[in-house]
């Protein structure tokens, strides 16, 4: 149960002070950024710890370290400050008394390339006045943006359990990793798994959501990680490199769905069923959809149905 007496005692300056100390790694850095003295920072932190009845930071010559209670409270302090910033930005966007509506979405590259263009068009029809802000990137980066409030939803594969704390996951469809090459690639004459050792391979880096599935698939076939490999999540690079060389690209099917359908890339006939995994909608567990965000989810679900993604 929330202690409303304590919550009323906690001020924005307390949250800002804690957040800056954590970000800067020292009281000195926080003091310089906030244009305060170090004693003032110390007093503010002491006030906050007294209000909460918990020690939040351990101080040493090496800097500061969060306690377990500090980790928990600092997480929500940053979320609260991010929410306040978004509210102030909303006021700035007010025109004629009407708040400009926007939806902020993060997506893994496989979703950004394959699904989101269809979703964006459907959303435009449902909410023509709304602003859609899209950010794509690796799973870890998107989770940081989600927790900070910089994006309201993330669409992609579920990450390592450690990265999913405080995040809900609603499955939308399933997708597998495929191996693709340019038309006319030498290995198309007699495709063999040994080709992964003969040719350069564009491979998911350790931070990529599909990396564990790819590693498990290789192990299941008794294959080592390719020696001749380039690790990247850059679809722009991989498309050009695969087109212009004899590289084999290991990538989520959604990223290359269009290229496969129009013949610009060819899928090697390897059974990659083991790499199949859920793609879903991720939100902060304490988040509730706004009306315009609900319209985006409706457009998302309709695009999945129309395109024919595997929802099993």
pLDDT of 96 higher than 50:
no
pLDDT of the residue at 98: 43
Res. 264 pLDDT band, cuts 50 70 90: very high
The whole-number average pLDDT for the span 29-51 is: 90
Whether residue 212 is predicted with pLDDT greater than 80 in this model: the reply is yes
Confidence of residue 256 (pLDDT cuts 50, 70, 90): very high
For residue 171, the surrounding DSSP H or E stretch is strand 167-175
pLDDT greater than 80 at residue 252: yes
Q: Where in the chain is the domain with CATH 1.10.10.10?
A: 4-91
The reported pTM is 0.62
- Give 24's pLDDT tier (boundaries 50, 70, 90): confident
State the pLDDT at residue 154.
95
Mean pLDDT, residues 161-180 taken together: 89
CATH number of 4-91: 1.10.10.10
Q: Output the pLDDT for position 183.
A: 97
5 pLDDT higher than 80: no
> What is the fold, at CATH topology level, of the domain defined by 177-275?
D-Maltodextrin-Binding Protein; domain 2 (3.40.190)
Contact criterion met (CB below 8 Å) for 48 and 14: yes
Position 4 scores a pLDDT of 53
CATH 3.40.190.10 positions along the chain are 101-172+278-307, 177-275
Give the per-residue pLDDT at 89.
63
Q: What CATH code is assigned to 101-172+278-307?
A: 3.40.190.10
d(C-alpha 122, C-alpha 257), whole Å: 19
For the stretch 270-312, pLDDT in tens is: 999 999 999 999 999 888 888 899 999 999 999 999 988 888 7
Residue 100 DSSP class: P
């Amino acid at each position: 149960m929330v202690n409303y007496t304590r919550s009323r005692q906690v001020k924005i300056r307390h949250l800002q002070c804690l957040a800056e100390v954590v970000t800067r790694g020292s009281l000195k850095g926080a003091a310089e950024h906030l244009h305060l003295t170090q004693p003032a920072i110390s007093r503010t932190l002491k006030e906050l710890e007294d209000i909460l009845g918990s020690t939040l930071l351990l101080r040493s010559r090496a800097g500061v370290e969060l306690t377990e209670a500090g980790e928990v409270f600092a997480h929500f302090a940053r979320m609260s400050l991010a929410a306040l910033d978004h509210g102030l930005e909303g006021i700035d966007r007010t025109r004629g008394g009407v708040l400009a509506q926007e939806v902020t979405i993060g997506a893994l590259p496989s979703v950004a390339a394959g699904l989101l263009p269809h979703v964006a068009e459907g959303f435009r029809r449902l909410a023509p006045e709304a602003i859609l802000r899209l950010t794509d990137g690796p799973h870890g980066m998107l989770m940081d943006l989600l927790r900070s409030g910089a994006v309201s939803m993330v669409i992609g594969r579920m990450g390592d359990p450690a990265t999913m704390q405080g995040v809900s996951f609603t499955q939308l469809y399933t997708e597998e990793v495929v191996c693709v090459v340019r038309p006319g690639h030498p290995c198309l004459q007699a495709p063999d798994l040994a080709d992964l050792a003969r040719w350069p391979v564009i491979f998911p880096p350790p931070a990529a959501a599909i990396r564990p599935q790819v590693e498990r698939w290789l192990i299941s076939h008794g294959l080592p990680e390719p020696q001749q490999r380039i690790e990247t999540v850059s679809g722009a690079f991989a498309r050009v490199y695969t087109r212009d060389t004899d590289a084999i690209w290991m990538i989520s099917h959604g990223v290359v769905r269009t290229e496969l359908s129009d013949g610009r890339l060819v899928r090697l006939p390897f059974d990659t069923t083991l790499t199949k995994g859920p793609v879903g909608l991720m939100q902060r567990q304490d988040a509730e959809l706004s009306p315009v965000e609900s319209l985006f989810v409706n457009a998302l679900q309709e695009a999945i149905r129309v395109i024919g993604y595997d929802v099993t």
